[in-house]
């Protein structure tokens, strides 16, 4: 396999251990394993999504892959090059956008920010202004380019972050929660920009808490929990993994054990999840086949005038919660 045909990202047995000291004279050492043997492969020219709860290790993995943090063990290659030993080759080819508002200079304009980062990234002086104008237009900040960044809204700052991240035309872009805190319009514009970057051939590694965003953007997704990848596949394949493409829901004022066992015994039911909302209980049934419908569920729960039933497609949020809760057991 040549470097050009190698995966955009490849890790084998990747681990990261953090140590901290506490107690009297800081003699007690606490070790936290943030990543525990990550095996990952991401193809070039696509958007790959990484999901996981807070503390799962998403940001740690992103920092290792973008050469900001060394792994404790294992191997990580980006664009065919080792992230620990070949940082000088990799860094000009990597873009990184972290969520939040840090990383910009508020007292100067958006254009001046981009000039500073263009010089930092080594953008040729003869191309600098043209490339800055191109990025400003792409993120719709032309009219605000010469205003001080402290006057920008959060959405405008995030657009400037994206412009900064792709100013040097990286081959791979790491986006850590790129739409966190944005209003719906700004978030939609950001997702549109992300898709346009892929059409330019950029590989994008995206971490997000927004399930609909991952489902909309990412052909392949990995779920990270407690430092391990618990599942990795397309959204449709992940639906099948947790029990099916269809979800049936029943709500009433409580269900007894006999009813729950009868529902679990219905053909095609792979899982029954119970949730309580005050006096109301909701049953969520994952269904593997198209044979089972709401009428069969209604017949099991007959005699409940307050019963509410509905059918919907299993969402990525359902998949995510099932996988993370399974790992937590």
Q: What is the CATH number of the domain that holds 215?
A: 3.40.50.300
Is residue 205 within a helix (H) or strand (E), and if so which, with residue range? strand 203-207
Which of 219, 238, 257 is the endpoint of a domain? 238
Residue 57 lies in a domain: yes
Give 100-141 pLDDT, tens digit per residue: 667 899 999 999 999 999 999 999 999 999 999 999 998 889
Tell me, what CATH number does 272's domain have? 3.30.70.260
Residues 69 and 210 in one domain: yes
Q: Is residue 275, in this structure, part of any structural domain at all?
A: yes
| pLDDT for residue 3 is more than 80 | no
Of 198, 217, 238, the domain-final residue: 238
- What's the pLDDT at 7? 93
Q: Are residues 61 and 111 in the same domain?
A: yes
Instruction: Grade residue 4 by pLDDT with cuts at 50, 70 and 90.
Output: low
When divided into structural domains, the chain yields a total of 2
Could you tell me the pLDDT band of residue 2, with boundaries at 50, 70 and 90?
Answer: low
Question: Residue 134 domain-assigned?
Answer: yes
Q: Give residue-wise pLDDT tens across range 19-54.
A: 877 766 667 778 889 999 999 999 999 999 999 988
Q: Please indicate, yes or no, whether residues 248 and 234 belong to a single structural domain of this protein.
A: no
Question: Does some domain include residue 24?
Answer: yes
Under 8 Å between Cβ of 205 and 199: no
In this structure, what token pair is assigned to residue 300?
Answer: 């099991």
90 and 234 within one domain: yes
Q: Is the pLDDT of residue 329 over 70?
A: no
In a shared domain, residues 194 and 172: yes
The arithmetic mean of pLDDT across residues 54-62, rounded, is 91
* Cα maximum dimension of the chain: 78
Q: For residue 98, is it within any domain?
A: yes
Residues 101 and 194 grouped into a single domain = yes
- Whether 250 has a pLDDT exceeding 80, the answer reads yes
Asked if 39 contacts 229 with a C-beta cutoff of 8 angstroms, the reply is yes
Nearest to 136 by CA among 159, 116, 119: 159
pLDDT of residue 328: 52
Domain that holds residue 63: 3-238
pLDDT interval class at 204 (50, 70, 90): very high
Task: Kindly state whether residue 321 falls inside one of the protein's structural domains.
Answer: no
Question: According to the model, what pLDDT value does residue 38 have?
Answer: 96
Domain check: are 206 and 253 in the same one?
no
Q: Which of 109-118, 208-217, 264-273, 320-329 has the lowest mean pLDDT?
A: 320-329
Query: Of 196, 211, 238, which residue is a domain's last?
Result: 238
203 and 308 inside one domain: no
User: How far, CA to CA in Å, does 124 sit from each of 120, 128, 129, 168?
Assistant: 11, 6, 10, 10
**Average model confidence (pLDDT) across the chain:** 89
Q: Which helix (H) or strand (E) holds 12?
A: strand 9-22
Q: Which of 144-153, 220-229, 271-280 has the lowest mean pLDDT?
A: 271-280
User: Do 248 and 145 have their domain in common?
Assistant: no
Asked whether residue 244 carries a pLDDT value surpassing 90, the answer given is no
Q: Residue 184: what pLDDT? A: 86
pLDDT at 189 over 90: no
The model's confidence at residue 326, banded by pLDDT at 50, 70 and 90, is low
Could you tell me if residue 318 is inside a domain? no
Among 176-185, 204-213, 247-256, the range scoring the smallest mean pLDDT is 176-185
For residue 323, being part of any structural domain is answered with no
Residues 172 and 122 in one domain: yes
Q: Are residues 229 and 266 in the same domain?
A: no
Burial 36-67 (b: 16+ CB within 10 A, else e): bebebbbebebbbbbbbbeebbbbbbbbbbbb
Share of the chain above pLDDT 90, in %: 58
Q: What is the pLDDT of residue 61?
A: 95
Whether residue 251 sits in one domain with residue 154: no
pLDDT given at position 327: 57
- Least confident range of 98-102, 204-208, 267-271: 98-102
């Amino acid at each position: 396999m040549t470097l050009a045909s190698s995966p955009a990202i490849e890790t084998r047995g990747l681990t990261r251990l953090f140590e901290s000291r506490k107690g009297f004279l800081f003699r007690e050492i606490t070790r936290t394993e943030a990543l525990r043997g990550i095996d990952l492969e991401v193809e070039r020219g696509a958007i790959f999504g990484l999901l996981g709860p807070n503390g799962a290790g998403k940001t740690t993995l992103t920092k290792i892959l973008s050469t900001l943090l060394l792994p404790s063990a294992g191997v990580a290659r980006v664009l065919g090059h080792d992230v620990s030993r070949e940082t000088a080759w990799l860094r000009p080819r990597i873009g990184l956008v972290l969520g939040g508002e840090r990383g910009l200079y508020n007292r100067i304009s958006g254009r001046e920010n981009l000039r500073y980062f263009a010089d930092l990234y080594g953008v040729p002086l003869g191309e600098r202004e043209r490339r800055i104008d191109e990025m400003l237009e792409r993120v719709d900040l032309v009219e605000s380019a010469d205003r001080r960044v402290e006057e920008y809204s959060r959405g405008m700052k995030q657009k400037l972050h994206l412009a900064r991240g792709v100013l040097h035309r990286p081959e791979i872009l790491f986006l850590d929660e790129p739409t966190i805190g944005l209003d719906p319009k700004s978030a939609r514009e950001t997702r549109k920009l992300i898709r346009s970057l892929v059409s330019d051939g950029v590989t994008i590694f995206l971490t997000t808490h927004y399930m609909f965003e991952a489902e909309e953007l990412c052909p392949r997704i990995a779920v990270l929990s407690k430092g391990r990848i618990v599942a990795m596949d397309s959204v449709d394949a992940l639906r099948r993994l947790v029990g099916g493409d269809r979800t049936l829901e029943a709500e009433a004022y409580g269900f007894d054990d006999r009813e729950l066992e009868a529902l679990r015994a219905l053909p095609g039911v792979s899982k029954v999840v119970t949730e309580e909302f005050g006096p109301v209980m909701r049953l969520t049934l994952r269904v593997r086949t198209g044979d089972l419908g709401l009428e069969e569920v209604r017949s099991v729960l007959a005699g409940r005038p307050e019963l509410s039933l509905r059918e919907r497609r299993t969402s990525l949020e359902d998949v995510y919660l099932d996988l993370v809760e399974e790992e937590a057991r």
